[in-house]
Amino acid sequence: MKLRFQTKEESNQQQQDEFLKLSKLERLYAFFRLMEQMSKFPIKNKEDKNKDNFIIVINTKK
């Protein structure tokens, strides 16, 4: 493991350079992986979108 001491700007520039070295397809896959990982992050106040909704099912048999 290598430790590096650098400023935030240097770190951001290094990350950007490494990302831009990837092919377009690899960047797309990296984006999808990031979105998947973000969906697993815990959130404090999760909204239940179906909290006030209900479904009425009417079965009509003739």
Residue 27: other Cβ atoms inside 10 A: 13
Answer yes or no: are the C-beta atoms of 39 and 46 closer than 8 Å.
no
Predicted local confidence at residue 62, as pLDDT: 66
Print the domain residue range for 38.
1-62
State the chain's maximal CA–CA distance in angstroms: 77
Alpha carbons 4 and 11: distance in angstroms, whole number: 9
Q: Is the pTM of this model over 0.75?
A: no
Number of folded domains that form the chain: 1
Sign of CA dihedral 43, 44, 47, 52: positive
Predicted local confidence at residue 42, as pLDDT: 82
Across the chain, which has 62 residues, the per-10-residue mean pLDDT values are: 92 94 94 89 72 75 72
